[in-house]
Amino acid sequence: MTPSLVRRIHAAFGEAGVTGSLHAVDVDSGAQVDAGADAPVVTASVHKLCLLVALYRQAADGVVDLIEQIECSVAGRTAGPTGLAALLDPVRLSLRDAAQLMMTVSDNAAADLLMDRVGTEAVNRSTAALGLEQTLALHDFDAMLAMLREDIGQGGPAALLTPHVLARLRVLDPARTNHSTPRDMTRLLTAVWTDAAAPAEHCAAMRRVMGLQVWPHRLASGFPFDDVRVAGKTGSLPTVRNEVGVVEYPDGGRYAVAVFTRSASTAANLPGADAVIGTVARMAVDALRAR
């Protein structure tokens, strides 16, 4: 890695109107690109990856059965725009199907069903056991959304245009919400891709479900090739756009990438801020492949 590459990565962030941090690592050689790899970051829905790993580790230990059926009633269902969160009727499904909804469409209701079953402390024990020293889940997604609503206040989304309201949002402070670092996230991804996070069959299942994520506008946008596979997990909050994932080339090259950004604008639709995640990921992966 050269200083010029880091400068180009940060310049790309700046041109897109965001600040950001990145860590990328060659899964097999350990070569890396560090552009703020140890910066504390808000994970938002990226933390669903930690929950996924904890679930499959519990399955391996016989604590849970992945085909166990759980009920998702309408009352008390965690809010969200996708999956179970957007449905109008009661639902019954297996733990592994809830995990698929959580990862593929970032379903908050499915995630909290799993969090209730697995337990926040078990998620933290799992990440600690895998050496993620800067990664911690403080609450589930319903609690995170409740914090956001409380801090915004009666002004609703329009209040986010007010700087002092944005400044008081606890969900944007890594010390007060679920958090990690880019390096911790690539360590977790590497563990999943090398069968170190859980038994091989469970790691394969996690890789499969991450490859089914439906959002192509961030990490995957940097790799628009039919023979390159991108498996990832996004995370979003006001001003926050993140994604972590693994890029796999047909020659066997595997690259874990974690990108976390904050935008200057509170607009919900910022295509440039989404696309720069793919741009800087591609810059990092190209540099690793050039080695």
Per residue in 16-35, pLDDT (tens digit) is 999 999 999 999 999 999 99
Per residue in 111-166, pLDDT (tens digit) is 999 999 999 999 999 999 999 999 999 999 999 999 999 999 988 888 888 888 88
- Look at residue 64 and tell me whether its pLDDT is greater than 70: yes
Annotated domain spans of the chain = 3-47+133-290
Per residue in 200-216, pLDDT (tens digit) is 999 999 999 999 999 99
Per residue in 151-187, pLDDT (tens digit) is 999 888 888 888 888 889 999 999 999 999 999 999 9
Distances (CA, A) of 271 to 24, 46, 52: 23, 19, 28
Per residue in 221-269, pLDDT (tens digit) is 999 999 999 999 999 999 999 999 999 999 999 999 999 999 988 888 9
Q: With pLDDT > 70 as the criterion, what percentage of the chain qualifies?
A: 100
Per residue in 264-286, pLDDT (tens digit) is 888 889 999 999 999 999 999 99
User: Residue 144 CB: number of other CB atoms within 10 A?
Assistant: 23
What confidence score (pLDDT) does residue 155 get? 81
Report d(CA 42, CA 65) in Å as an integer.
31
3-47+133-290: which CATH topology?
Beta-lactamase (3.40.710)
pTM, two decimal places: 0.96
**Which residue from 243, 285, 282, 287 is spatially nearest to 261, judged by alpha carbons?**
243
Report d(CA 71, CA 73) in Å as an integer.
6
Do β-strands 69-72 and 229-237 pair in parallel, antiparallel, or remain unpaired?
Answer: unpaired
Q: Are 289 and 47 in contact (CB under 8 A)?
A: no
Q: Are 177 and 147 in contact (CB under 8 A)?
A: yes
What confidence score (pLDDT) does residue 1 get? 59
* HEC sequence for the chain: CCHHHHHHHHHHHHHCCEEEEEEEEECCCCCEEEECCCCCEECHHHHHHHHHHHHHHHHHCCCCCCCCEEEECCCCCCCCCCHHHHCCCCEEEEHHHHHHHHHHCCCHHHHHHHHHHHCHHHHHHHHHHCCCCCCECCCCHHHHHHHHHHHHHHHHHHHHHCHHHHHCCHHHCHHHCCEECHHHHHHHHHHHHCCCCCCHHHHHHHHHHHCCCCCCCCHHHHCCCCCCEEEEEEEEECCEEEEEEEEECCCCCEEEEEEEEEECCCCCCCHHHHHHHHHHHHHHHHHHHHC
Report d(CA 220, CA 243) in Å as an integer.
10
Q: Are 12 and 4 in contact (CB under 8 A)?
A: no
Phi, psi of 189 (to 5 degrees): -60, -45
Give the long-range contacts of residues 196-204, CB within 8 A, separation 24 or more. 196/130, 197/53, 197/56, 197/57, 197/130, 198/53, 198/56, 198/57, 198/59, 198/60, 199/60, 202/56, 202/57, 202/59, 202/60, 203/56
Report d(CA 242, CA 252) in Å as an integer.
26
